[in-house]
Amino acid sequence: MFTQHPQRIALHNEIHARPPEAIQVPVALSRVVMLCDSEQRAASFAHITQLARDHHLPTPDVGSTHVRLDLGIYRVRWEMHTEFCTWTFVRRLNADHFGEQPPDTAIAVVPQSWLAKLPGQALANLHIWVLAQGMLNAEMLTRNVLFEETLVASAVTDNCSEVYTDFMIHSDGFTRMVVLAGENVPPRRLGRLVRRLLEIETYRMAALLGFPAARSVSPSLARTESELAELAHAIRSATNHEEPQLLDRLTRLAGEIESQHAATYSRFSASAAYFELLDKRIEEINETRLGGFQTIGEFMNRRLAPARSTCEWAARRQDLLSQRVSRVSNLLRTRVEIEQQQSSQALLATMNQRQDIQIKLQSTVEGLSVAAISYYIVGLISYFAKGASYWGWPLSAEMTAAIAIPFVAGGVWWSLQRIHHKVFHGDGHGAK
């Protein structure tokens, strides 16, 4: 009936792209976050596709960013993100003796040879065990599962469940969480809680990727700030001959700052976005204090605040430095332009003086020209009078010349003034 937008179905299905799984207790989950570039993301999709072929399951569509496979003894969920791919493994758990010995993990039943070939670099590894409330006590929890010294706990989802973790990397390279679900928690709601806990650990590590970059650029930023201060001070007392050199140093410094800013901007922007997602996920689990333990939100605020501030301050310092360099550059260029204008004005003044001198010289030359031209014309008139005396001219040649001098000089002067007016002021008839 209507002409459909070619992306309508894809856009509509985006809200259903990563639905949470229904969780039935007891269950064990293992999450592996692999940092990937573009080639490794393609290899990761090929890896999950090969797993589906090996188990005679339908292969995912090309371009898929989310794949779920049920392999019987365990389930696997693969998701592709901008910078990383996540692998989540889920299996049923026998919790009869949970806490009395090292607990079984979901990843333990995954073929280790296939697991070792996951493309990318491991950024975060997490085990989660979801049990029913009352299945274990705090003593059992800290005996073989979590470290008591760094234990963090809180009641979540309107006090319907409890979460325990220590945010420590254990001997197998994984961090650990234990969720004790209340009796009346629906499987879908429990699945959403588990997904948020998985994302908290994922986004925590992804956000911290900006911290090494912030620390590495700090010495360079300090050196650049010092050099910029020296340049600003030097500009105040610089001479005309020093200004081109200062401008060259300032241009080089601006290029260095912009190059550094371009190299770290995406990393700091991504870290800021991950920190924001982390805050939202912590807010969504709706924590309340449990006993005398720190909540996850309190632990994150206290432990991540320095790293977060370092990343934010590094990004802000880069922006401020770029603005300061731009202001100093504009100041120096303005100063150079003003000096150039002053030089141009002085040159124009000199040219005007020379023009005045030329006009005066021209007037002098014109006066001499009147005398010279009049001299030659009067001489011709004298010769004419001598010749005319043979035909009865009454006046002598000298007398004729003397009488002709004022008339000749006046005529020559008038003619020169006329020519001068046409050349320098134009003539109405000539303009037509």
Consecutive 10-residue averages of pLDDT for the chain (432 residues): 79 73 91 95 95 92 89 94 95 85 91 93 96 80 87 91 94 94 90 95 95 90 84 73 75 82 89 95 93 91 91 90 80 68 76 76 69 78 76 76 80 77 60 40
pLDDT confidence of residue 123: 95
Report the interhelical angle of 187-207 vs 296-388 (nearest 10°). Answer: 50
Domain 210-346 has CATH 1.20.58: yes
Tokens of 157: 């989802």
pLDDT confidence of residue 424: 63
pLDDT confidence of residue 428: 47
**130 DSSP β-pair partners:** 27, 179
Beta-carbon contacts of 206 under 8 Å, excluding residues fewer than 6 positions away, are: 33, 83, 84, 123, 124, 270, 271, 274
Tokens of 186: 């629906």
* Complete DSSP assignment for 180-226: EE-TT--HHHHHHHHHHHHHHHHHHHHHTTHHHHHHHHHHHHHHHHH
pLDDT confidence of residue 430: 45
Would you say 71 and 35 are in contact if contact means Cβ atoms under 8 Å apart? no
Residue 126 amino acid letter: L
pLDDT confidence of residue 367: 67
Sheet strands side by side (includes 27-35): 66-70, 75-80, 84-92, 27-35, 121-132, 175-181, 161-165, 152-156, 288-289
Would you say 123 and 173 are in contact if contact means Cβ atoms under 8 Å apart? no
Give the predicted TM-score (pTM) of the model.
0.74
Tokens of 13: 């299905």
Name the residue ranges covered by the structural domains of the chain.
Answer: 13-192, 210-346, 360-431
CB count in 10 Å sphere of residue 243: 17
